[in-house]
Structure 1
Amino acid sequence: MLRAKSFSVLPGFNLALGYTLLYLSIIVLIPLAAVFVKASEFSLAEFWAVVTADRVVASYKLSFGASLLAAIINMVFGLMLAWALVRYTFPGKKIVDALVDLPFALPTAVAGIALTALYAKNGWLGQFIEGELGIKVAFAPLGILIALVFIGLPFVVRTVQPILEDLETELEEAAASLGANRWQTFRHVVLPILLPALLTGFALAFARAVGEYGSVIFIAGNIPMVSEITPLMIITKLEQYDYTGATAIAVVMLIFSFIMLLAINGLQAWTAKRTGRDR
């Protein structure tokens, strides 16, 4: 039996695929390949010596450690914020909902300057936190953590929010009618449904934080072995005209980014399967 040919406003598959691959190659694949080609100018021993230098390793620990901690914080408080936006009505709700996307729209350099001015020793908050409590925020790893929390929060909120909107409250009411308290209802009914989306938001926030530069560079202080992030090490190598060394560090970050991308895609597929969105 002959099948009716479906109408499409886009070109045929072969032409569309060709344009897609060409565009993807020019924008993504060729530049990424150039990074590996440039790094191949090093021998394996030289490459290993560059990417495992003490100063570079310290930047790995700070970038990955602070990013992981920021993503965990965002996972907890992002869930709470998404819950409040979905389940409750309060004055200024639309304003709060719009402010969640502010880190997306705000230039990262502006965010970094604002956070530095706020948490510096003579800033609005810094004069109390550092002056009264003795806790140094700006120009310290704690300031980096705050900046990474700021830029990563929207990923968790916007990932969890649509799942919460689709979650039927009847499930919670049924659990309550069977004698479950609030914690038991959240743990055994709500959390298993939200967990895939929550992990996806966590992974997205983590991946975003690892590569962040603009909002961190101002508040970090950039003290060697203390508050230098890995993207700054790449910039430092470039300023020293050590292009091969910069690309070697970039390759390490790129490989990690690929791993994170695979993890995010896997979590998104799991989320779609758990929520029935893959049908």
Structure 2
Amino acid sequence: MRKTGKKFSLIEHSVIPGFGITMGFSLLYLSLLVLIPVSMVFLNSANMGWQKFWEVALSERVVASLKVSFSTSFLAALVNAIFGLLLAWVLERYTFPGKKIIDGLIDLPFALPTAVAGIALTTLYSPNGWIGKLFAPLGMKIAYTPLGITIALIFISLPFVVRTVQPVLQSIDPEVEEAAACLGATRFQTFYKVILPALLPAVITGFALAFARALGEYGSVVFISGNMPMYTEITPLLIRTKLEQYDYAGGTAIAAVMLVISFIMLLVINLIQWWTNHRDKAN
């Protein structure tokens, strides 16, 4: 809210006019591409009736697939939030041979078809693969387990964290770190009290994007998971199975449950980010 003369306005005015028409086009665009398609999921589910809906949504196989999808996606996003920050830091704060090549490789999961990534990861981590056979004598299986699913999700969601954190790191002047060191701060204190508060909102945003991307992933996971019901079956695969069986109502019911849980989790993440931003501004 801002004061304009004797009146208060709820809209922040811009030098360039056109709020009404741009807002109208934005809402129309958002409605056509997001709101209407998503609403159809809930409308199709409503045709089942509440009893049938909850019977499908709370079935043992659906609950197991939701646990696999959300746990592996959350773990993959958490790993990427940590190592994505580390990778962004190295790329922005140091100069070394091959830096441009590494920076370009980060975007490879964007360009690589997910099915190709799934086949490559399965070949690599299967019991007979280059990496899988190293762990096989230890009794550790990677492919066709939740661990393999997590690795695939880490691979496809890594760029979201790195590319979100990099611009913020670029905006932080290295002289700020030097000033903290001159004032007697240790390296840990400089990172924890100076750098991390500025990076935290970007890290949380990258985590949310990586989590959302991993949650809806299908192509790279379907090969390495083994698709075993109650163990490595992900929810997107179960939805596709329902659709292939012409059970459209059942598939949309599972999708509706997944959408609601995803929305709640992303809302909580956004609230944490909002709280972090306002806390930093208050300080």
Contact in 2 for aligned 1:140/1:221 (Cα 8 Å): yes
1:28 deviation in Å?
2.7
Aligned partner of 1:200 among 191, 195, 205 = 205
1:26 deviation in Å?
3.5
Deviations 1:109-166 (A, max 9, x none): 1111110111111112112122x33211111111000001111111110111111111
Contact in 1 for aligned 2:66/2:258 (Cα 8 Å): no
Aligned partner of 1:238 among 243, 255, 259 = 243
Look up the match of 1:249.
Answer: 254
Question: Structure 2: how far apart are the matches of 1:187 and 1:206?
Answer: 24
Deviations 1:221-252 (A, max 9, x none): 01111101111110111122211110000001
Question: Structure 2: how far apart are the matches of 1:197 and 1:274?
Answer: 15
Letter in 1 for 2:35: L
RMSD of the TM alignment (CA)?
Answer: 2.4
Number of equivalences: 268
Deviates more, 1:88-97 or 1:177-186: 177-186
Look up the match of 1:210.
Answer: 215
Question: Structure 2: how far apart are the matches of 1:98 and 1:70?
Answer: 21
Look up the match of 1:68.
Answer: 74
Deviations 1:160-191 (A, max 9, x none): 11111111112211221222211111111111
Query: SS in structure 2 opposite 1:221?
Result: coil
Query: SS in structure 2 opposite 1:57?
Result: helix
Query: SS in structure 2 opposite 1:49?
Result: helix
Map residues 91-170 of structure 1 onto 2, 5 A cutoff. 91-130=97-136, 132-170=137-175
Letter in 1 for 2:142: V
Deviates more, 1:251-260 or 1:190-199: 251-260
Q: Which runs of 5 or more structure 2 residues have no equivalent in the other structure?
A: 1-14
Deviates more, 1:92-101 or 1:121-130: 121-130
Look up the match of 1:182.
Answer: 187
Look up the match of 1:3.
Answer: none
- TM-score after normalising by structure 2: 0.86
Question: Structure 2: how far apart are the matches of 1:71 and 1:13?
Answer: 36
Identical amino acids, percent of aligned pairs: 64
1:24 deviation in Å?
3.8
1:35 aligns with 2:55: no
Map residues 260-275 of structure 1 onto 2, 5 A cutoff. 260-263=265-268
1:259 deviation in Å?
3.2
Question: Structure 1: how far apart are the matches of 2:134 and 2:279?
Answer: 47
Look up the match of 2:10.
Answer: none
Look up the match of 1:226.
Answer: 231
Query: SS in structure 2 opposite 1:228?
Result: coil
Letter in 2 for 1:73: V
Look up the match of 1:44.
Answer: 50
Deviations 1:54-94 (A, max 9, x none): 11111111111111111111111001100000001111100
Query: SS in structure 1 opposite 2:138?
Result: coil
- TM-score after normalising by structure 1: 0.87
Question: Structure 1: how far apart are the matches of 2:269 and 2:107?
Answer: 20
1:79 aligns with 2:85: yes
Question: Structure 1: how far apart are the matches of 2:23 and 2:186?
Answer: 54
Q: Which runs of 5 or more structure 1 residues have no equivalent in the other structure?
A: 1-5
Letter in 2 for 1:194: L
Query: Would the alpha carbon gap of residues 36 and 84 (structure 1) be closer, same or farther in structure 2, given more than 3 Å must change?
Result: same
1:268 deviation in Å?
6.7
Contact in 2 for aligned 1:129/1:136 (Cα 8 Å): yes
